[in-house]
Amino acid sequence: MRHMKRITAFALALCMAIALVSCGESGGGQPANSGAGSGSAAPGAAGGAVEGGLTEAERAKEFVTVATGPTSGIYFPIGGAFATALKDWGYTTSAQSTAASGENIQLIQESGAEIAIAMQDSVMQAYEGFGAYEGKEPASELRALMRLWPNYVQLVTTANTGIQSVEDLKGKRVGVGAANSGVELNARMIFEAYGMSYDDCTVDYLAYGEAIDNMKNGQCDAVFVTSGLPNATVTELATSYDMVIVPIDGDGRDALVAKYPFYAATTIPADTYNNKEDVESVFVYNIMLVRADLSDAMVYDMLTGIFENISTIQASHNAADKNIYLDVGISDIQLPLHPGAEKWWADHGFTK
């Protein structure tokens, strides 16, 4: 099936390329949303249909900020590679270091970035107004550009703590991530799924890099890390300490996946770190958000530029190399696509 999808996508892409060359020879090729860039047109405006994105001159006038994550995580190098790919396509770009999902969602809402990486569980909480966004107006304007790589929930500790299960966190000091970050929202939902709450332990609202430093100094017992595999900070911990990856499994995991379908059961493969066997866990996809008020033509064009320069993105990290390519399409994206993205993916053989 995967090979058939690859062949279909290639054939469609070839047809598009021929059509674009024909338009160029005849002097046509103007996008339906001609000249519409940042903040210039609502989704679906000016006729909706897009033929080929922006012209080179229009592209050169647009500035694209990519909201990434902390410099210690993998959002930063992968997001930076997206900025480079779009720069090579003709945009002026910037990669902005952030506190990851929560801040990135806010930046998209406030037009502080054109595209942003975020975990889908955080995005859906904001979009539907539940969990960490309970009582807030649902962020119904959020839109997706594309699926990225899976983030694995990695609950790590050291052997001397005696922690072997999620339930063993009771009475311990636990690093759950910066407040309202994607990592912290994962931790909160996992506690809930196991019939626990933060009241059962002492919680440190720290980014996982800081929390792991505290664990090395005996000031923290366990740390939630949600990341692609492998995570450099966790690798360093496993190299220097007798690290243990705590499984997320059993009835608690079943309850988590049943209530929040953006999670999926998985394993952290043996030898990812110092683990000799697979460790049960869950993952949630990262997705690329895009501003809803960007024109269909610009969003279509950005996707073209991204996949024209996909090798730049794939070279940025192992997680990107294994998971970001045309073949994966848009499966598992729960957030609505931007109309320009929907058009681009449909033209390449993928529909939701």
Query: Does residue 100 belong to any structural domain of this protein?
Result: yes
Q: What is the rounded CA–CA span in Å between residue 21 and residue 164?
A: 60
| CA 237 to centroid of chain Cα atoms | 24
Q: What is the rounded CA–CA span in Å between residue 101 and residue 291?
A: 15
Return mean pLDDT, the chain.
87
Confidence of residue 218 (pLDDT cuts 50, 70, 90): very high
> Residue 25 above 80 pLDDT?
no
Number of domains composing the chain: 2
Q: Do the Cβ atoms of 350 and 329 come closer than 8 Å?
A: yes
Shared-domain flag, residues 15 and 115 = yes
Confidence of residue 181 (pLDDT cuts 50, 70, 90): confident
Q: What is the rounded CA–CA span in Å between residue 66 and residue 108?
A: 10
Shared-domain flag, residues 226 and 204 = yes
Give per-residue pLDDT as tens, 305-315.
999 999 999 99
Shared-domain flag, residues 128 and 260 = no
Q: What is the rounded CA–CA span in Å between residue 112 and residue 74?
A: 21
Shared-domain flag, residues 166 and 136 = no
HSE-CB of 337 using CA atoms within 13 angstroms: 23
Range of the domain at 158: 151-285
Shared-domain flag, residues 216 and 321 = no
Query: Does residue 39 belong to any structural domain of this protein?
Result: no
Write down the pLDDT at residue 51.
Answer: 63
Shared-domain flag, residues 199 and 214 = yes
Shared-domain flag, residues 184 and 270 = yes
Long-range contacts formed by 327-331: CB under 8 A, 24+ apart? 327/2, 327/5, 327/6, 327/9, 328/147, 329/5, 329/9, 329/147, 330/144, 330/146, 330/147, 331/147
Residue 48 has a CB neighbour count (10 Å cut-off) of 13
Residue 170: partners with Cβ closer than 8 Å, 6 or more residues away: 196, 200, 201
Give per-residue pLDDT as tens, 330-352.
999 999 999 999 999 999 999 98
Give per-residue pLDDT as tens, 84-123.
999 999 999 999 999 889 999 999 999 999 999 999 999 9
Burial class (CB in 10 A: 0-12, 13-18, 19+), 171: exposed
Query: Does residue 37 belong to any structural domain of this protein?
Result: no
Q: Do the Cβ atoms of 59 and 31 come closer than 8 Å?
A: no
Shared-domain flag, residues 137 and 156 = no
| CA 352 to centroid of chain Cα atoms | 18
Shared-domain flag, residues 141 and 19 = yes
Mean pLDDT of all residues in 288-295: 98
**Final residue of a domain: which of 269, 285, 301?**
285
Q: Do the Cβ atoms of 238 and 274 come closer than 8 Å?
A: yes
**Final residue of a domain: which of 251, 285, 319?**
285
Give per-residue pLDDT as tens, 73-89.
889 999 999 999 999 99
Give per-residue pLDDT as tens, 51-65.
679 999 999 999 999
Give per-residue pLDDT as tens, 239-282.
999 999 999 999 999 999 999 988 999 999 999 999 999 999 99
Confidence of residue 15 (pLDDT cuts 50, 70, 90): very low
Shared-domain flag, residues 274 and 180 = yes
**Final residue of a domain: which of 285, 310, 328?**
285
Shared-domain flag, residues 329 and 276 = no
- pTM to 2 decimal places: 0.76
Confidence of residue 23 (pLDDT cuts 50, 70, 90): very low
Give per-residue pLDDT as tens, 29-40.
322 332 334 333
User: Residue 47 forms beta bridges with which residues?
Assistant: none
Name residue 108's amino acid: I
Shared-domain flag, residues 165 and 269 = yes
| Tokens of residue 214, six digits | 């505290």
Q: What is the rounded CA–CA span in Å between residue 164 and residue 260?
A: 24
CATH of the domain at 174: 3.40.190.10
